[in-house]
Structure 1
């Protein structure tokens, strides 16, 4: 192409393969195109999109570049770094690229080559900061061949030498490594590590590009003289102005910080490490580069395990973006911030003014009252509790919930410390428990041992939600809801031996419980740890105290936990019944525990925990006027309500005027409600339950009766369906009995 009389900037017209064959065969290719613009055929072009032909610029588009490689086309640069057309563009030379695009239409129109303009959906790359159109250009670059390093990295993961956690990310690792390309390590930026490459100019070959690499200019001069056999004084050097890719520089991190390439004491002591923790989005960009360099330069992997945490998103699962106004500053969560202050932050940012109002609306919707002060501990705990999957949707309401947990923790510890006399100190239980502990004391230590086991397993397997859940349950449900409530009558009326055993157990729970929680909530646990009446004061801080292990707490008893769970179920049923009748704390009820078989431990446990139900356990024969609470097929509770409400219930037979509350096929509660309720309304409620239950039974029966049920449905699912059907049918029978009873009212 003669650029002097060119009317169209340099390029190539690419048309659909089969279509072009048709055009050429019928001699329909325009002569100007034949003469001025090369035409080639390629399957890349979509015949049904636009005209079915597209002009490509081989040096200014990634897809065009690939087409040019397939057809051995020249790579022609048509504009400079300022976006102005070069001399090879004929009459358009020196003009701005956007002006030329408009002028080309006029030129084509004048040549009778222009037909029309149509709008098509296009993705134009824009700079995220300046919003300018990004124009790809061919530039000389430095590359590293990565195929061998990638093969070694794949081998390390497949052999287990390098472990990626969670292992679902291994697929991503293999995808990147097995399809790896040469790595462009040079960047045209004003900052970064300058590439240690020098261009060598010799007297006889000034136009030829000759290069050497070296740490210093003196070393480069010496290497050039030796390599090219020329005296040093005849050589001119020019250091490349490019800098290294950021990921190249950061890939050196695991060993560069210890003085590499010198074999320092720190390098010998601390390299390689054990664990790298980072986000899964840079698994290839950063993690892989560190693995490459570690294996290549030092012959060792930089770490043994890679833990990839999820990406933090907003409560709606959206990526945090300034334009959406949903970016959460951790400091604002820790200290709290008003809605007005959040709006003010937008004005101080580099956000486009057109986006500020939109961002304000987003903030107003998500934080109408601003962000409450949550504290560092609550934020840390929340992030660990929600660390699951690829994304973490940060809900401020949940963080605030853990702030309330901090308050509960503080108040519980403060209350528990009141049970320790002044000027006394304690130590945790030894692995072998002393005699004299009550069954509830042993239960508390069993639940503590369970928490120690699960939290340690959670850390070992990087299952942080499991660890935080068991810490939370230990403090809130086991210690606060049960054990501290149990201790109130013990310290009020118990013997000195009982009090002494309870204090030692309580102290053990507090110290180990705080240590378990310390990695998640370091500040509040440190403060409370310093307040413990510790006998062993050799450890000045909880941060360096030994973490509890299973060998420290071999107190687990699953049978005891199951029995206490049954006793607590009785407590909850009684409390629910009392709540339904709006009984005050002053109206104490009497419970009769009716059991079949050997259930003495259940009776003993309920006797110890009866204060939680605000009821007294009677050993006498259950009188009439009771609400019968069926706990299981072997346990009943007869709750005396006669003195509290107008009711009369015979032990032998359910009388008229009684509402039967079905809990399951084995659990029901008989409540005398005659004169207190409208029977017809109760029947209506039970009819609705029957209808829902009937649908469930029908679906299960249809599924079970299917011909291929036994062959296609897993055995575990068949078992669950069978159990659910039996339970539902039993509940249906009880509902029908309840309706018949209500009809007699």
Structure 2
């Protein structure tokens, strides 16, 4: 609409863990050919099942996007597992590998036992517990207790002494290899350097070390160390050269390192360990403890720190380059709070675990090399690995790396983290690594809009990959919008049952059908009950049919530059729905007034015969155009919706359309035609202003409007977006008509306050010559506006500045230019009560005065905004003076 060549590429990623988890759940519920587990299929067979599922749900996603009115280039739908994209993934991995940025190491990862894979930080929900809490864990019939601190003792080798420790995870003591104390803790000075005996594993000795990391005040001041199952202990284990003993199998059962608990489930072993400690007299106590439990967002499982060889990516140099791009302004991130967080996160970046133990995804293009007649170890490092774009390339590299030896290759079974391929999106979708015309014309891209929650896992990596692989930033602007939450402000989660399908808002859905979607979904049965309870509370009558425009406008109206989150609230939806209906009704009225034979003038330019109301509404329209364009440029989308509502609702529909009726009906033919031309211009501009927010309604109504001669534009979506037109702006007419409207409003307000049904006597006291000239000239208009819905006319007189003010009257301060007075002496019984009413109004005005002063103090001098607040100050000062005079008048009134 602004004349730019714009490219918006739609598409989907393959959602590695999420897709595989859903497919596995569906197999468990609905076996295929008698097969209910992933392991019952070959890898290729299972991948095809995932591909089939993807096809169905990608189609549903695309359909939803289309129905929401999003308008990308549908001929360019991209997909991260497509053949071209997969080529880009392998190419980038090989380049990073050859540059030494990718390496293999045995380190701790976030492990989901129920999914048997490592997961990203983004897929870990942190659940805060205030104390002892029982939680449901997949694979366990009974809830497991968390939020407790268990105290027990380790015997000191060669003596009768013991050392007491405390832990929130008793089962991990089976992997303990040391105990740490603070070097300045007098309680344990004599223990430093000694060893403790593991009570269940006779050949396990625990070295007692001193480290300032230990908090003397927490627990007993002695910390058990499990380097293979705790991130902090991992670092201490390396520092003090402790053994790293993994006690977990990938499925969460205990392995042979767990002694007598081998084969047990980890949380069954928790209770078993406590019972056995009690039998040995080593158990001390258990007490409630505030803690945070890491939970897998995909499975609901409790995350375990797990030691396993994985492929990792060094991010320090990449992060530095990304930081510089943002700091030097090559990339603008809004809001500033997100920019600050972005830079903060990149200050000390951790290396990125790339491996995922899945079948669905991009299989990592690395091969383990076996050499005939040699022991190649456990492949924990990258010594016996080669990387290649194809297996043939990998074979050639292996032969070069191990010349003269007979080598055999086996590709890694793991796949890449989904975010690896997603990080290539800005340029892989344009044909990279090939040099395409799209890449030449559209890269770097301009704007990325995204949720703030994926800034660290997606946005930062797109910047890193783009700078490293193309030498360019991927985009020049990042706009972070808030998350869409439920009406209680909670993040949408399948486990809460509060995820809302946009289609249900578009088409409407009954409460019963909402329940059915839960019952037939993948939510565990023990969570369905609470989810149904939420639905009954949030949608007691189901969800009405709102349509796409209402949903769009509701969410855009809540989109703030601050990036604050927004809510799916039926009240907001209903308000937006009323606005849409008002637009429809107003446009229908305008079309009826214009008539079927109406032909707009060739141009919207002024003719010079426009009436005061016309010049006022054109000025208001022009102001709205300027402010909306500015708001959109500044990404203040919520503000732009408020401006559009003010212009259309308050100014065009409620005032000008109403006031134009008398001109069209009673004016000369020239005046009537001018009023209709203005009607056409103001409604047509309004529809174009709203088109990005409400594409369906505005298209429908715009198509019904007649076109200006020589205008063959086929759709509102390619019509020119309104621009500020200086010739439309008439400040003098705006001020004059605001005065007319203010006087009319004041008269109606006073007549209503004092329930005047008969002929009311009103005096308009003008405070300067300009207001007197305006009110005198527009008195018929004022009388017409006051006569709406009244059977009895109002008697109105106009007084010049300096003339004696009327007595026995209630006042309505219009502005610093005029006051309206209504004779009420013979209509009231208690003057003191009337004085009290006006004292309340004085207090309200003074509060407003304070607020205006505060706002003004924060604004820069010379801006349009500060001028508005200076005028407002002037009006409030005059208002307070008029109210005070009225209070004095009532105090002195005699009957």
TM-score under structure 1 length normalisation: 0.83
1:134 alignment partner, one of 281, 290, 303:
303
- 1:724/1:57 CA distance change after superposition, 3 Å: farther
Q: Does 1:11 align with 2:165?
A: no
- 1:578/1:21 CA distance change after superposition, 3 Å: closer
CA contact (8 A) 2:255 2:263 kept: yes
1:515-574 C-alpha deviation (Å, 9 max, x unpaired): 1111111111111111112133411111111212125x6311222211111111011012
Structure 2, gaps ≥5 residues long? 1-172
1:38-70 C-alpha deviation (Å, 9 max, x unpaired): 222333433333333232221112122122133
- 1:239/1:14 CA distance change after superposition, 3 Å: same
Residue 207 of structure 1 deviates from its aligned partner by 1.9
1:676-691 correspondence runs (5 A): 676-679=827-830, 683-684=832-833, 686-687=835-836, 690=839
**Partner secondary structure for residue 739 of structure 1:** helix
- 1:629/1:55 CA distance change after superposition, 3 Å: farther
CA contact (8 A) 1:385 1:468 kept: yes
Q: Does 1:466 align with 2:639?
A: yes
Cα distance in 1 for residues equivalent to 2:598 and 2:196: 105
1:71 alignment partner, one of 240, 248, 257:
240
1:395-434 correspondence runs (5 A): 395-427=569-601, 429-431=603-605, 433-434=606-607
Residue 73 of structure 1 deviates from its aligned partner by 2.1
Residue 282 of structure 1 deviates from its aligned partner by 0.9
- 1:180/1:581 CA distance change after superposition, 3 Å: same
**Aligned twin of 2:385:** 211
**Aligned twin of 1:25:** 190
CA contact (8 A) 1:372 1:400 kept: no
**Aligned twin of 2:611:** 438
**Partner secondary structure for residue 701 of structure 2:** helix
- Structure 1 stretch displaced more, 460-469 or 247-256: 460-469
- 1:588/1:225 CA distance change after superposition, 3 Å: farther
- Count of aligned positions: 697
**Aligned twin of 1:643:** none
Q: Does 1:529 align with 2:702?
A: yes
- 1:517/1:369 CA distance change after superposition, 3 Å: same
**Aligned twin of 1:654:** 807
- 1:699/1:237 CA distance change after superposition, 3 Å: closer
**Aligned twin of 1:81:** 250
- Structure 1 stretch displaced more, 435-444 or 278-287: 435-444
Cα distance in 2 for residues equivalent to 1:55 and 1:128: 29
1:603-618 correspondence runs (5 A): 603-608=776-781, 610-614=783-787
Residue 419 of structure 1 deviates from its aligned partner by 2.6
CA contact (8 A) 2:665 2:672 kept: no
1:251 alignment partner, one of 420, 423, 429:
423
**Aligned twin of 1:639:** none
**Aligned twin of 2:565:** 391
Cα distance in 2 for residues equivalent to 1:37 and 1:604: 98
2:414 alignment partner, one of 236, 242, 245:
242
1:477-498 C-alpha deviation (Å, 9 max, x unpaired): 2221222122212221211111
Cα distance in 2 for residues equivalent to 1:659 and 1:687: 12
Cα distance in 1 for residues equivalent to 2:732 and 2:858: 33
- 1:176/1:12 CA distance change after superposition, 3 Å: same
1:668-693 C-alpha deviation (Å, 9 max, x unpaired): 654444554331xx523533764896
Residue 89 of structure 1 deviates from its aligned partner by 4.0
**Aligned twin of 2:125:** none
1:280-331 C-alpha deviation (Å, 9 max, x unpaired): 1111210111111111111111111111111112333332334545433322
1:445-470 C-alpha deviation (Å, 9 max, x unpaired): 22221121112112211111222222
- Structure 1 stretch displaced more, 107-116 or 410-419: 107-116
1:172-571 correspondence runs (5 A): 172-208=341-377, 209=379, 210-230=384-404, 234-388=406-560, 389=562, 390-427=564-601, 429-431=603-605, 433-534=606-707, 535-551=709-725, 554-571=727-744
CA contact (8 A) 1:384 1:465 kept: yes
1:323-353 C-alpha deviation (Å, 9 max, x unpaired): 5454333222222333333333333333344
**Aligned twin of 1:171:** 340
- 1:694/1:410 CA distance change after superposition, 3 Å: closer
Cα distance in 2 for residues equivalent to 1:607 and 1:286: 64
**Aligned twin of 1:620:** none
- 1:264/1:107 CA distance change after superposition, 3 Å: same
Cα distance in 2 for residues equivalent to 1:463 and 1:699: 25
CA contact (8 A) 1:444 1:478 kept: yes
Cα distance in 2 for residues equivalent to 1:410 and 1:27: 81
- 1:698/1:675 CA distance change after superposition, 3 Å: closer
Structure 1, gaps ≥5 residues long? 1-7, 617-622, 637-650, 705-711
Residue 124 of structure 1 deviates from its aligned partner by 3.7
Cα distance in 2 for residues equivalent to 1:610 and 1:136: 79
- 1:543/1:635 CA distance change after superposition, 3 Å: farther
CA contact (8 A) 2:806 2:821 kept: no
Cα distance in 2 for residues equivalent to 1:469 and 1:437: 28
CA contact (8 A) 1:280 1:309 kept: yes
Cα distance in 1 for residues equivalent to 2:801 and 2:348: 65
CA contact (8 A) 1:194 1:244 kept: yes
Residue 140 of structure 1 deviates from its aligned partner by 0.8
CA contact (8 A) 2:194 2:207 kept: no
Cα distance in 1 for residues equivalent to 2:404 and 2:484: 59
Residue 661 of structure 1 deviates from its aligned partner by 6.2
Bigger RCO (CA 8 Å, 6+ sep): 2
- 1:420/1:589 CA distance change after superposition, 3 Å: farther
**Partner secondary structure for residue 724 of structure 2:** coil
Cα distance in 1 for residues equivalent to 2:408 and 2:192: 57
**Aligned twin of 1:162:** 331
Cα distance in 2 for residues equivalent to 1:358 and 1:579: 50
Residue 193 of structure 1 deviates from its aligned partner by 0.6
- 1:519/1:365 CA distance change after superposition, 3 Å: same
CA contact (8 A) 2:196 2:207 kept: no
**Partner secondary structure for residue 457 of structure 2:** helix
Cα distance in 1 for residues equivalent to 2:740 and 2:782: 8
Q: CA RMSD in A?
A: 3.9
Cα distance in 2 for residues equivalent to 1:591 and 1:700: 28
- Structure 1 stretch displaced more, 58-67 or 596-605: 596-605
- Structure 1 stretch displaced more, 503-512 or 188-197: 503-512
**Partner secondary structure for residue 597 of structure 2:** coil
Cα distance in 2 for residues equivalent to 1:80 and 1:258: 43
1:41-60 correspondence runs (5 A): 41-60=210-229
**Aligned twin of 2:885:** 734
Cα distance in 2 for residues equivalent to 1:242 and 1:635: 89
Cα distance in 2 for residues equivalent to 1:180 and 1:72: 25
Cα distance in 1 for residues equivalent to 2:592 and 2:269: 84
1:593-608 correspondence runs (5 A): 595=766, 596-598=768-770, 599-608=772-781
Residue 14 of structure 1 deviates from its aligned partner by 2.3
Cα distance in 1 for residues equivalent to 2:268 and 2:464: 46
- Structure 1 stretch displaced more, 130-139 or 375-384: 130-139
**Partner secondary structure for residue 683 of structure 1:** helix
Higher gyration radius (CA): 1
Residue 582 of structure 1 deviates from its aligned partner by 4.5
